Amino acid sequence: MKNLKKIIFSKYEEKFLKNNGKNTFYAGYWASDSIDLKNVNYLNCIWSSEKEKNHSYKFLKKKYDRYINILTNYFNRYHNVKYNKKYWEIICGMWLSTYLSTIYYRWRVVEKISSKNKIIINNYNFKNFFLTTNNSIDYYSNITRSDSFNNLVFFKIINYFIKYKKFKPILEKKKIYFKNNNYKKINLSRNYSFKTKIFEKVYGILDVIFRRKKNFIIVDGFNNKANIKLNLRAFQFPFPTSKYFNNELSLNSNFFNFKKREKNILKIKTIDDFEKFLERNIYYDIPKIFLENFLLNLNLVKSYKIKCKKVISGSFHFFNELFKIWLAQHTTHKDKSFVITCHGGNHSKFHGIFNYEDNISDQHITWVKSKKLNLPASKYLEVKKKRNKLDNLIFVINETNPYPAKWEDSPVCLDDLKLDVVLKKFNLLLNKKIKKKFFICPKYFYCPKFQKTIKRNLNDLKIKKSFSFTTELDNAKLVICDNPQTAFTDALRSGPTILVIKKNQWRPKDILKNNYKELEKNKVIFYSYDKAIKHINKNWDHINKWWLNHRTRKSVSNFLNSLNCNENSLNKWNSYLKK
């Protein structure tokens, strides 16, 4: 037993460790708070390899396209209906892409570990291996944050490998009764600002008084000012989104029905081991809102008296279950058209939701210019561009989840982010004078290991509050982003900003490649923190000399034009919505 390596798959298992964790190997950086980047006793992020990441994307996209068809047949059989693929993709597509990605990542971890010799794993007594949640948000929350849920996922896969793939680990003699009572519960209500909550209440009252058919409804994706003006120009009042599409209103009274789920499975010809595993599991892992509780929620949304021609969404089509069920019921019957307006600045060529948005919408209005239709980015309509005070150096970090989430062309694990190394570079290389003005601006700040990494390198005074970026942006002399998402575009529109990324991550759409080259040439994009910090040190005292340089301004302006983010007038949207 001395030469055996004990494998730990999640933080849930740490409490069963003996001998102070000696001869222990961790399945990932997430599996223990004691692991740091210097350790060699953990499996590196699988998708940090460009080859592995590219292969996984192609593999998962094929599986998504295949299983959306399989689940369409399954749902129709289960509910005794004949809805088309688009109907069911609107409802379950987001969950399916997340499920496939998260399960496949953990599958690859087990696959790599199963090739090792002389390993020992915990011996659990599981009541069942079902990953059933109430809805897709619950699944996402648990697969990214819950230690026990992830432990269940890993051993569900390990169980399959032992039965069907000749994996022969040594099991601990003592059996452990697995308790799954600490799954993550999250608040399903949308976190509206106080001002928006007041507006929503007013919209709700007006909705009762004025019941006539609207030309369009904006569910989300626009700021309050733009939303009100566009509706008033159409001689109608804004739509009270939270009155109808609040996840807290969804019904969840029916229990998991194993027999009915099993009875409606149609046997398919599997083409690989991963599909064989899926066929033994996916039908029991589907959230209850798509099966046992679907009819309850369908009847609820059928009672809604919402009359309109166009439905516009920025993000509600991702995780708002009531909206998706209502949307599927109306847009597939062609009495309403569905328009998606991009809710953020992610302009990567590859996405972990695959073609979900293109497949479910009648029109998908992206920020990146296209040959079909170009409208100003809805987020920036009538939004000011300039900062009030140029003072601080703000670092905006792409926070990863505690456990790997869906496939993205970005760091999906904290070790791939290499945050510890990055912050040490700032401490070591940044001029002392500038260091006093250096602050971190996190978005969520809920990952414990992410918090520990930052607090190990910076004191609390250097860490701004969660969701404070909009406020802090007003006081920023320079913003550093480690991702080209919404915050980068927000910052770029308003003043001096740089982006620092890896060459093999956040790869832009082909139409933006020349923009990226120009931004790199003019010191707006960097692929090295050393070079970025050198640039900051050199230009801090006369930041506008660099930023207002003709070539720099031109490269930034061209990029923002390519993203439809330079124009903030309502006129084009007003014309579009009148059609």
Cα–Cα separations (whole angstroms), residue 275 to 70, 270, 281, 333: 12, 6, 10, 32
Is 145 within 8 Å of 185 (Cβ atoms)?
Answer: no
Rounded Cα distance between 288 and 301, Å, is 17
Question: Model confidence over 474-494: pLDDT tens digits?
Answer: 999 999 999 999 999 999 999
The total number of residues shown for the chain amounts to: 579
Q: Which residues pair with 26 in a beta bridge?
A: 8, 42
pLDDT score for 2: 59
Amino acid occupying residue 222: F
The pair of structure tokens assigned to 565 is: 């983010």
Is 109 within 8 Å of 46 (Cβ atoms)?
Answer: yes
Residue 33 makes CB contacts below 8 A (sequence gap 6+) with 11, 448, 449, 452
Q: Which residues of the chain have pLDDT under 50?
A: 188
pLDDT score for 200: 75
pLDDT score for 185: 56
Question: Model confidence over 132-172: pLDDT tens digits?
Answer: 999 999 999 999 999 999 999 999 999 999 999 889 999 99
Q: What is the DSSP letter of 507?
A: P
pLDDT score for 35: 82
Residue 286 three-state SS:
coil
Rounded Cα distance between 249 and 42, Å, is 43
pLDDT score for 118: 84
The pair of structure tokens assigned to 398 is: 């792409």
Is 406 within 8 Å of 98 (Cβ atoms)?
Answer: yes
